[in-house]
Structures are given as structure tokens and as C-alpha cells.
A and B are shown apart, each in its own frame.
Chain A
Amino acid sequence: AQTVTQSQPEMSVQEAETVTLSCTYDTSENNYYLFWYKQPPSRQMILVIRQEAYKQQNATENRFSVNFQKAAKSFSLKISDSQLGDTAMYFCAFMLAYTGTASKLTFGTGTRLQVTL
């Protein structure tokens, strides 16, 4: 079974600064996908970024980027130029790369990020 660990329950960052959220996972499989989801106070889960394990290049989406270390089974999220709207719960999630079956997600317990003035 796969597990996802987020060791930082809460973090705080000042507006315009950079913050990095940590995530580690455990799997014996070689082909998988990793995701970061954001859950603002509205509680809607929003996809932030996705990384395919077979890709060496780290994914980026505007101010969001990841540091994917496959050998270390680490998948951290960096938020640059933090904005007040980034205040949310952030979840790391893992998905095995199968075909022929629905793509089940395994979530970490989340990191609550507070962006302050």
C-alpha cells in the first residue's frame, strides 16, 4: 500500500515571500503521479500542480513549482511571491499509473498555510 506523509501541520509566510511545503511518500511501484491540491476556506479542492514520475523535469505552474526527488521519494511544493489568496490547506496526493482501473488517490494529512501581511 502507498502512504503519503506531510510532516508540517501548519506553516506561515509573509506576503511576497517564498515558502516550501514538504511531502514524502512510500511506494514500491515505479510508475505513478503526484499531485498538490489546495483547499481554501471554501473547502473546494483545487488542483495546484501535477508531476509524472517518469518525467525528470520538475513541474511548474506560474508561481507554483515542485522539487521532485524520485530516489528520495520526496515531492515538495514551492510557492513564490506568496499572496493572501494562497491561504489554504495544501494536500499532497499519490496515484499509481495504471490503465484499466480508475485512478485512486492517496492523500497526506495536509499542511495549513497562512499568508500574512
Chain B
Amino acid sequence: DGGITQSPKYLFRKEGQNVTLSCEQNLNHDAMYWYRQDPGQGLRLIYYSQIVNDFQKGDIAEGYSVSREKKESFPLTVTSAQKNPTAFYLCASSMGIAYTDTQYFGPGTRLTVL
């Protein structure tokens, strides 16, 4: 089955720790995205990547980092510099820069800071 997987589903972090959220897709999509969702708010863009080895900051990139070493993978690291990391994190992908195209989402990761 083609799709986007995110792991883990739930993640707990102690203050001061870095954690990495996984996002993998087998849709052969070039572009990938990370969003954050807080209660009562829509999704906000953290980072996006149009192609391997390239990524750009979104609207709320502070305290986060990403890498894109493989087309299929776009991990997000939540660093200790992120002041309020408790949120629901969604990864998405789309065909890529040659298209203005629909984004498809993974099932999400719920991050809680203890």
C-alpha cells in the first residue's frame, strides 16, 4: 500500500531533551512537509523540502531541525530550544515542485513534554 507513515504515534520527552519524529513515504513524492497542530488552531508549517538535500523554513521553524537525505524520509527533530513542544505533529507529502498539487498526510505523532 502506498502512503505516509509516522512513528511513534505517541512520544514523551523530558524537558531539555531532543527528540526525533520519523516520517516515511512510498508515494514517490518529491516534496515533504512538517506541520504542528495545537488545540483551537489550524495546522502551521514548520519546515518543508522540495527535493533531497534541500529544505526551507516554514512559519514556525524556531526550535526545530530537519534533514532530507533520502527521497522517502523527512525526519523532524524537536530540540530543547523549542519552548512549548507539546503538540500534534503531522507530516505530509506532495508530488513536487513541478506541480501545484494536493498534500497527503500521515497519521501524526502526539508529542508530550513531561
Contact = CB atoms under 8 A, between A and B. Distances in A.
B41 A109 contact: yes
Contacts of B107: 42-44
Nearest to A50: B102
Given A44-B107, A107-B42, A110-B42, A98 B100 contact: yes
Contact of A100 (B58, B90, B92, B97): B97
Contacts, number: 66
Interface string B89-103: 010101011111111
A97 interface: yes
A47 B105 CA distance: 9
Contacts of B96: 102
A91 B43 contact: yes
A77 to B, nearest CB: 15
Interface of A: 4, 33, 35, 37, 42-47, 50, 91, 93, 95-105, 107-110
